[in-house]
Structures are given as structure tokens and as C-alpha cells.
Structure 1
């Protein structure tokens, strides 16, 4: 089976890494909309148009399922995509529901990191309203972190300074869970675990997304240490340097830490 994953840039590779681990015999096409990255700072009409154009291109390929591996693109366009195409289309959702459950046990709050556009759209606000009965969820936009990621900027000192600036004035003792609500953000999971207080747990939506993919395509999601399928990278501007960047970013995810 050939499965496509789509994001504005390299963020969705965090989802691809999880999919490769759990579906080691499947083939994957990864498409990045490099003409328009990042999505999180664009307007809603722009993102809808960019997503439709990219998915139209992807659908020219022989694929059996599509993962929109971008929270912003999912929020902006997933329902229209599902009405347009007749293959399984799986989107991303910030892992607010499991985070709220965990926070209740700890008696603390939840902090959601995401892009500005994701946090402003009804898909996110409706999700929070549906699951946050005790009003424990706070949100913080981190648009600059997407740019850091796209530049493959993983220097601990630089990232630590950035988070210290963003989190100044925040009492982290009130929080038990931080949701990484953009697929670019898990690149910084290991760094954040070193920077943040040890009682804070980091979660993202990759695991749940891949579980949903498996249920829709009828595959058994069995974790594996090896991968025997084929991966093809594409990008909307056709830049060979970006294709190389995607390969290097995927290697970073696979060798530096486990999501």
C-alpha cells in the first residue's frame, strides 16, 4: 500500500517517523508545500487554497490513503478534502483530550503549543470547549519555532533562550502536561525535556493519528525497529536542496531521539 503524507514543510516527518515505525512494510510518499511554508502565519483562505492545490497534485499519484500531517492544514481544510476525494483522509488534532485526562489525575493545568492560525480556528476552540470541562487548558502560539525547525536549528542554547523568553512569567508548577500542537514541534521534544521541569509530560498527536490511519486502512499497527518499505520525497517548488533537507530531517528524527 502507498500512503501519502502532506505538510507545508518538514513538520509532518514527525508523523511519518511514527507511521514507519508502526507500518514498516508500507510505502510512503511525503509531500511538502515548500512554495508556501509556513502555513501558521497565513490567512485561512490562503491556507485552504494552498492545501487544495497541493492535494490535487498528490492525488495524481497512485495512493490509497492521505495523512494531512499538519494541524493548521487539518483545521483549515480537512472537511472539504473529505468531501472531494473518496480515499481515507486522516487529519491531525492537538492531543488536548488525553492531556486533559492526565491533568485531572495530577490536579494541574494543560498548556498547548501551536501556531497562531491553529489556535484561532473553530476546530481547535470547539475541541477545547468539548473536552475542557474544568477550564484547565491554556494556549500559547509559537510561530517562530516552525521557522527554527525549517532551518534545522537544533542548537540547545539558542532554543533554550527562545523558550525562556516565551515562558517568562508562566508558572510551570501549575502544569502537568504540554501539548505539542504543531507537527514541527516534536523535533524539540528531547530539548524541551531537558529545559522544562521534570514533572511536565510532553505529548503530541502523532500516535493517535497513525492509530486512526491503521483503523481506516485495515492494517495492524505493530511497532518495529526495522523498516522495509519505500519512501519518496516531493515538494511543491521542486527544489533538490529541500528534498535533501527532508532526508536529513528524517534521519535526525530517527537517530537523535524516539518520539
Structure 2
């Protein structure tokens, strides 16, 4: 059986990549809902409808679990989907709690999509863990657009982030939470713009580990988990994964080559 991973676009490959590193013996199905990207600017009702359709697709394609590799979709749709379907559905949320715990009194910046920033789930999370009022939320909608067209390192990306950060005293920050899976593609640019003491954190590895724990507890892993993360470069040709764009399987050699280049970039970003 497969592990289904999906997002509105390529951002979910962040979690797919982590899952391939942690569980290289599993079979994966990756679904990018490119007909509806980005989710972060859609209504709550629209996103719930999209996610419902994707999970039905996953079930019809023999998925034993679904990883919602999208902070926005998790925030608005994970709870109703878990109520509706029996298979494990794991989501991802901004890693605010560990960021606050590690901030040592410095401020914490959470960057995400507009819908995630304004959604009650994130605001409740911040209220629950941010007793010292250290957390700032910043929406970066254009980063999703840059990512979807494969523009990861450019003057336009740098200028956009500089403009968005211009109202903040960055020296006051200790943690930067990447609250959208698309944003991991830009870790090198974030690193250049942020002061040296700022630590970047995201929830992708935590979500994948949670998925692995659930499957392990159910005896549903293809093989026992390795003691440490495997080499993606070493295992990439042996990992079984099928890619879909809004239900259409990607078979074109050019597109598959581009997807491999995205994995190569994510591996570099993972090791930063």
C-alpha cells in the first residue's frame, strides 16, 4: 500500500523528501493540486472541498495513510477529514512551540500564507504557548508564486523578502518559523537575510516522524525504521513514488527530471 502526500503545489515535496529519507522502503504517491494552487488565498470552504477530493483520490489509489503536506490545508481541513475518514491523516503546523521554547527570550517570527496567518488554529496555538508575547506573524504570499515557477534564488526573491522584513528589527529575533512547506525551498535566501543568531525551524520532520510512529504502532511499515536518516542520494533510484497533478499522473520525462531537480534542491536545504 502507498503513503499519500499532498499539497496545493510543489511545497509538499518538502515532506515527501523527508519521508523518502526516513522511510525509503515505503511506496509513495505525491499529489500536487496545481489546478487550485495556492490554497493560502482561497476561502476556508474551498480548501475543505479541495482536500476532501484529494483524500478520496488517495483512498481510491490504495493509500494506507495520508500526509497533508500543507500548513493551510491542515489548519482548515484536517479535523473535518479525520472525522470523515478512517485512515490515518497527519497534518503539519508551524513549529511555534519548539521555537518559543528555544528562543531564550528573543522574538520569534512565523512566516506563512495569509490564510494560515489569519486562521484561528494558528492564533490559538500562539496564544497557548506564547506567554511572553514574543511571536510575530508575517504573511508572505508571493513566495508560493515564486516557488511554483521554480524561482528560488533571484534578485526578485531577495528584494521581496527584504521589503517584507523592512519593518522588523531582525536583530531582536532568535527563531524563524517556516510556516508554509513552500518556504523550505528558500532557506538559503532566508539564511543570508537573517542575522547569524536566528535559527530556522519548520514542522516537516516532526510531521513525518509522527506518521512513521503511527504506522509503526499499527504494524503497517514496509520495513522497520532505520536508526538514523538514510541518504536520499544513495536510495533515490530505489524509492517507489508516483507523482500526480490534480489527479493526472506525471509521466513526461521533462517534468520528472524537473521534479528530481527539486529533490536535489530540497536535499541541499535539508542539510543547511
Tell me whether the two structures share a fold, i.e. TM-score over 0.5: yes
Contact 2:109 2:175 in 1 (8 A): yes
Q: How does 1:237-248 map to 2 (within 5 A)?
A: 238=248, 240=250, 243-244=255-256, 245-248=258-261
Deviation (angstroms), 1:257: 5.4
Aligned with 1:112 (options 104, 110, 113): 110
Deviation (angstroms), 1:133: 1.1
Deviation (angstroms), 1:160: 1.3
Asked if residue 224 in structure 1 is aligned to residue 230 in structure 2, the reply is: yes
| CA distance in 1: counterparts of 2:143 and 2:128, whole angstroms | 28
Deviation (angstroms), 1:120: 1.1
| CA distance in 1: counterparts of 2:89 and 2:178, whole angstroms | 22
Contact 1:235 1:243 in 2 (8 A): no
What corresponds to 1:250 in structure 2? 263
| CA distance in 1: counterparts of 2:8 and 2:260, whole angstroms | 16
Q: Residue deviations 1:145-202, cap 9 Å, x none?
A: 0000001002342221111111112100110001000000000012211222111111
Aligned with 1:139 (options 137, 146, 161): 137
Structure 1: runs of 5+ lacking an equivalent = none
Count of residues in correspondence between the two structures: 257
| CA distance in 2: counterparts of 1:23 and 1:151, whole angstroms | 29
Mean Cα displacement is larger for which, 188-197 or 9-18? 188-197
SS at match of 2:41: coil
SS at match of 2:248: coil
What corresponds to 1:72 in structure 2? 72
Q: Residue deviations 1:49-89, cap 9 Å, x none?
A: 11111211121111111100000000111011111211111
What corresponds to 1:197 in structure 2? 195
Asked if residue 123 in structure 1 is aligned to residue 121 in structure 2, the reply is: yes
Deviation (angstroms), 1:238: 2.8
SS at match of 2:263: helix
Contact 2:184 2:266 in 1 (8 A): no
| CA distance in 2: counterparts of 1:197 and 1:77, whole angstroms | 35
Q: How does 1:1-259 map to 2 (within 5 A)?
A: 1-103=1-103, 105=104, 107-218=105-216, 220=225, 222-225=228-231, 226-227=234-235, 228-236=238-246, 238=248, 240=250, 243-244=255-256, 245-254=258-267, 258=271
